[in-house]
Copies of this chain bind each other. A is one copy, B any other.
Amino acid sequence: MSVRLTSPGPTLGVVGGGQLGRMLGEAAGPLGIEIVVLDPTPDCPASPVVTDQIVGEFGDPDGLRELAERADVLTFEIELADPELLETVHEETGVPVEPSPSTLRTIQDKLVQKRSLAEAGIPVPEFRRVDDVEELRGAGEELGWPLMLKARRGGYDGRGNVAVDGPEKADDAMAEIGGDAMVEAFVPFDRELSVIGVKGDDTTDVFPVTETIHEQEILRETVSPPRIGGETDRSEIERRAYDVASDVLDQMEGRGVYGIELFEVDGRILLNEIAPRPHNSGHWTIEGSSTSQFEQHVRAVMGWPLGATERRCPTVTSNVLGDTDESRPAELTGVETVLGASNANLHWYGKREVRPLRKMGHVTAIGEDPDALLKRTRDLRDSVSFETTNEP
């Protein structure tokens, strides 16, 4: 594969301009690749760091056609992109869409996603389709309580997922999700892990396994390498995680980065969920790897050679989530502590409004001991707040 750099460089059209689009923009600059995003929010997070934003809904045909006309390749940074429309625009314009819209379609529907992975022999928690409260109760009798009830479509950052402790909670849970759902058997995992995989033109690769820590179904911290006791245990668990990730990548169609979330339970690896895009659990690669997941995604979708994925050193990230009770203009205080810290970096997403538990930024720290790093990164994150006092 031979690559020529030109000026202006090739243009990547991205459906979505949230924080992932912003970090794609930050990564594309050094490669000489220009980015145009399609996003409904004027001045979306990506806007200040990319060549241009087209203001339009993710499913707006005219917006997507305009994006395709300006782009050499199309990709998406949000599952709300419309696979049918992407296929239509691809057929109309000939502009490649990576990863494949068919993969997006499969992943968008969590039930279809799980079925296709299970059929491919990838180990997943037991699951059932449930469309009403009766089916939910039936699934509970079959799989045992508690269960994880998930909306098939549109959930993210904890929305669309409800843990159901027992049959007496079924009504409330189903009302919250609203039908068209699935359940999964509860997995008493020892640890949650993530592998960021990538499919290139004719090769696949993975970034090192990373531990993920969730609370209320929202990712809070990542620890890379994961804190698995003993080098033998570690390498064996990691090998199994790479095996599952590799099997998953074989099922995906189209180039790009995939976030592969895993459960580690009794030394076994189960697949949790897949995202066909850069993933929050891979933000550590910005400082922690020579090639970040964002640079890797840009390289992959453009058909360029993939970059090296080694871990430079132990790296921990912690999300800065909205800690307010209500929506209000975003104003983060206490930032001087993070800015002044050694071997730590701040990433601010530029969202105009803070909302409860909204992902507003993240803090990364590099060092040696993962436990110490995790404590340090949590302390740094705790030093910032969206809650303001009235003191001068």
Contacts and interface: CB of A to CB of B under 8 A. Distances in A.
Given A25-B29, A26-B29, A4 B331 contact: yes
Contacts of A340: 305-307
Given A5-B335, A9-B348, A47-B51, 10 more contacts: A5-B331, A6-B329, A7-B329, A7-B330, A26-B26, A26-B49, A290-B343, A290-B344, A304-B336, A308-B343
Cβ-closest 7 pairs across A and B: A32-B348, A308-B342, A5-B332, A3-B335, A29-B49, A305-B340, A48-B51
Given A48-B34, A49-B29, A7 B308 contact: no
Contact of A304 (B287, B305, B339): B339
Interface string A331-358: 1111110011111111111111100000
Nearest to A35: B48
A158 to B, nearest CB: 22
Interface residues of A, number: 61
Given A308-B343, A339-B305, A333 B4 contact: yes
Nearest to A350: B7
Given A308-B342, A342-B290, A331 B6 contact: yes
B351 A7 contact: yes
11 contacts: A4-B333, A6-B329, A6-B332, A9-B350, A22-B29, A31-B348, A48-B51, A290-B342, A290-B345, A299-B339, A312-B312
A175 interface: no
Interface string A26-43: 100111101100000001
